[in-house]
Amino acid sequence: MAVSGVGVDLVQVKRIEAMFNRFPDRVRNRIFTSAEVEFCEGIAGKYLSYAGRFAAKEAFAKALGTGLRGVIGWQEIEICDNERSRPTIKVKGRAQEYLGKRKVHLSITHLPDYAAAVVVIED
């Protein structure tokens, strides 16, 4: 396995909750896909789950080497899991173009106040 990128991100859960309290529709529609919103809204501790997905998207963009400042968009990255299996990343659009056929590995972890994610991209 040849590693082509590694990304890590740490998010404070109260920061994500504050974003939702201030701009609920904007955050849901800009950052998260409808499937992610449906999943997070259906569980207890939804802000912790949103924070994990936020961290995973940031970590993916870092591992890809593009960041999230206009090269790829938040909605092009979807974090998929059911809290009982390991999470995966589904990409589309420019994110898929940049990723190509490379494989993505994702790990998300949570504490009451923080969520973190690590992404490894291999050739």
Ranges assigned E (strand) in 13-83: 77-80
| Given the residues 46, 62, 92, 101, the one annotated as active site | 62
Return left, alpha or beta for 121; rule: phi > 0 is left, psi -120 to 50 is alpha, else beta.
beta
Could you tell me which residues are annotated as the binding site for Mg(2+)?
Answer: 9, 58
- Give the pair of three-digit tokens for residue 86: 């390991």
| Given the residues 46, 90, 92, 110, the one annotated as active site | 110
User: In the annotation, is 62 catalytic?
Assistant: yes
Question: By C-alpha distance, which of 121, 118, 123 is closest to 91?
Answer: 121
Could you tell me which residues are annotated as the binding site?
Answer: 9, 58
For residue 25, the surrounding DSSP H or E stretch is: helix 24-31
Q: Cα(113)–Cα(93) distance, rounded to whole angstroms? A: 33
* Active-site amino acid positions: 62, 110
